[in-house]
Structure 1
Amino acid sequence: MSAPVSAGVIPELFRGLFDDAAVFPPGNLPVAEAVPAHRVHRAAWYAEAVGPFLCGAGRLGELAAAPPASGAVGGATAGGAEEAGAAPLRVGLVLPGGSAELAPALAAAAPFELAGVELATKDAAEAVAELDRLLPPHVPAAVELPRELLRGDGLDAVLDVLVDSPYRAKFRTGGLVAEAFPDEDELAAFLTGCAQRGLPYKCTAGLHNAVRHTDPETGFEHHGFLNVLLAAQETDRAAAAAVLAERDGEVLAKAVRALTDRQVTVIRNSFTAFGTCSIAEPLGDLATLGLLSSPDPLPQEDR
């Protein structure tokens, strides 16, 4: 990252980092609008930064009815099987209802290119068993446990289950109420617990800005995705918490520029992606901090 940022080039640190969660709160973009917007992102110069389109199990019917890609000859079938060489829609399947949703959701997602599954559960071992039983071997998955089960000894127990599996952990870093946002120490415990085990993870909610800040409208304390990226290389909980607490964007940008290729690899092998209801905001923040150079205008706000 120490080399100058070339226009139109997505640095390795940010490739595939932003999963498109436009249809989830607080964005709540209608599926019929979110799918064309996602296709624009996937065709843009910054496409390497954009991950799959995230969709809840209950909205796969809407997704199947979404408009085909523009220029597809003869239309499309079920929103995912585009014709005329159009890229199929890569879908990350989000299952908030637990393992009972897995089999029917996998069947409903058959028309799409399944990029991954995110399974919320209260029982990590049961979720791993169901994923082993039902998930196609080429499809990655992440397992999310309620935060109240990840405190104290519960965190170690869950991470130990996942580290013996092929699946990532998933951690919720925000939401629609203040209590949905973990503080620095709680998030640091998760990050370092994963780092100590070599367990990859993704995050979701509240991370669409680069730098830790207090939202002026809600008063909620938001973590910054740059903070999380830099903290991902730490195995010491206090050190990780200190990085998560940093509010100076220039300090974080300087630290990012100083990363070696090896550090970038370690970070991204740990922190694989996060869901964001806006693709525009994180890109805009990176450009403002001089960590991304745009050859064309960045996308307008897509929430």
Structure 2
Amino acid sequence: MTPSPASVEPPGAAGWPEEWRGLVDDAAIFPPGDVPLHDATAAHTERRREWWGDLVGSFVLRDTDFPLVRGFGAPLSVVVTGGAGQLAGPLGAATRLGLHVAAVEIAVRDVDDPVGNVRRIDAALRAAEVDVPLYVELPGPATARWLAAADEVAACGHRLKLRLGNVDHDLVPDSATVAGWIDAALDRETRFKATAGLHRAVRHDPEGGGAHGFVNVLVATRTLWDGGSVVDAEAVLEQRDGAALAAALADGGVAATRRWFTSFGSCSVTEPRDDLLALGLVPVSTDLEDNA
């Protein structure tokens, strides 16, 4: 009998494999999940106690949510809801409230001067004297202006945030765009995280349009880092054969790839867990399977 994913453990019950740890940032409060904040924090705490809890990275919340989670002990990825000028205040408040900020995420708002906007963001973070990874989301496809802003992100020692999904399927970036973004990040040796839409491991077609898969993104990243072309990576992002994608990561490719693709935010953490188990990318104990 095949066990349900939640009822099994890896061999030796040693916990989640190292190369997959912290892959999924818990963004349960964001669309389309929209879980109430207190329910989401309670569920996050419980998930971290599960045998598969190491799959879960930080809890993602808005900077305006800080007063509602005073004393919450989990690492937080903070989405800044305003511009550069809104960095210092909330981060200072987090310290006073006893919160552990593990990363900051902010979107460039000045589409006419993204390079200057990145510089202002960098200056604001330095003024706040908070030494945490900063993920910068740049608007639009990888145009010359986008690439110049990516240069500035890299020069400042920050990271990129790539939005791969949207509740409006018409706004989901196509595979060519995503491949271009990943190629630009790797060309600058800049780490990146993804957000939105990566609930499932393999590219699929939910009602309304296509959705990227997080294993596709991992394999596309490896393809580019190993010298493949953007066209090659685009083909990988379009791949719907889960077994073929899993095979491409079978020789230690996960750890090498996650040096660059650090994590992704998802309003579900159980769907990624279930897909990794189903694809055999995380081994399941045979004894436990037989007894389930």
1:6 equivalenced with 2:5 (yes/no): no
Which 5+ residue runs of structure 2 have no aligned equivalent? 1-9, 110-116
| In structure 2, distance between residues paired with 1:145 and 1:131 | 17
Alignment of structure 1 residues 235-246 onto 2, 5 Å: 235=224, 236-246=229-239
| In structure 2, distance between residues paired with 1:173 and 1:56 | 19
The structure 1 residue matched to 2:166, chosen from 152, 160, 175, is 175
Alignment of structure 1 residues 277-292 onto 2, 5 Å: 277-292=267-282
| More moved, 128-137 vs 112-121 | 128-137
Give the alignment's Cα RMSD to 1 decimal.
Answer: 1.9
The structure 2 residue matched to 1:192, chosen from 183, 186, 189, is 183
Which 5+ residue runs of structure 1 have no aligned equivalent? 64-77, 81-87, 298-303
The structure 2 residue matched to 1:45, chosen from 37, 51, 55, is 51
Question: Are the aligned partners of 2:199 and 2:214 in contact in 1 as well (CA < 8 Å)?
Answer: yes
1:103 equivalenced with 2:109 (yes/no): no
TM-score by length of structure 2 reads 0.85
Aligned residues: 264
Alignment of structure 1 residues 1-303 onto 2, 5 Å: 6=11, 8=13, 9-63=15-69, 78-80=70-72, 88-110=73-95, 111-122=98-109, 123-137=117-131, 139-146=132-139, 148=140, 150-215=141-206, 218-235=207-224, 236-257=229-250, 259-260=251-252, 263-294=253-284
User: Cα–Cα, structure 1 residues 177 and 7, in superposed 2: closer, same or farther, change >3 Å?
Assistant: farther
User: Cα–Cα, structure 1 residues 11 and 154, in superposed 2: closer, same or farther, change >3 Å?
Assistant: farther
Question: Are the aligned partners of 2:142 and 2:181 in contact in 1 as well (CA < 8 Å)?
Answer: no
Following superposition, the deviation at residue 135 of structure 1 comes to 4.1
Following superposition, the deviation at residue 23 of structure 1 comes to 0.6
Question: Are the aligned partners of 2:138 and 2:146 in contact in 1 as well (CA < 8 Å)?
Answer: no
Following superposition, the deviation at residue 201 of structure 1 comes to 0.4
| In structure 2, distance between residues paired with 1:285 and 1:179 | 25
Following superposition, the deviation at residue 57 of structure 1 comes to 1.4
Following superposition, the deviation at residue 102 of structure 1 comes to 0.8
Question: Are the aligned partners of 1:95 and 1:101 in contact in 2 as well (CA < 8 Å)?
Answer: yes
Question: Are the aligned partners of 1:174 and 1:182 in contact in 2 as well (CA < 8 Å)?
Answer: yes
**1:191-245: CA deviation from partner (whole Å, max 9, x where unpaired):** 0111112110001000010000110xx3221100000011112332111111111
| In structure 1, distance between residues paired with 2:74 and 2:246 | 33
Following superposition, the deviation at residue 106 of structure 1 comes to 0.6
Higher helix share: 2
**1:138-181: CA deviation from partner (whole Å, max 9, x where unpaired):** x11111122x2x43212321211111122111010111101331
What residue identity is the alignment partner of 1:268?
R
- State the partner residue of 1:70: none
Identity %: 36
Following superposition, the deviation at residue 256 of structure 1 comes to 1.9
| In structure 2, distance between residues paired with 1:136 and 1:154 | 28
Question: Are the aligned partners of 1:79 and 1:89 in contact in 2 as well (CA < 8 Å)?
Answer: no
Question: Are the aligned partners of 1:116 and 1:141 in contact in 2 as well (CA < 8 Å)?
Answer: yes
User: Cα–Cα, structure 1 residues 12 and 239, in superposed 2: closer, same or farther, change >3 Å?
Assistant: farther
Question: Are the aligned partners of 2:92 and 2:128 in contact in 1 as well (CA < 8 Å)?
Answer: no
2:223 is paired with a residue of what secondary structure?
coil
Question: Are the aligned partners of 2:137 and 2:160 in contact in 1 as well (CA < 8 Å)?
Answer: yes
Question: Are the aligned partners of 2:85 and 2:124 in contact in 1 as well (CA < 8 Å)?
Answer: no
1:221 is paired with a residue of what secondary structure?
coil
| In structure 1, distance between residues paired with 2:81 and 2:162 | 13
TM-score by length of structure 1 reads 0.82
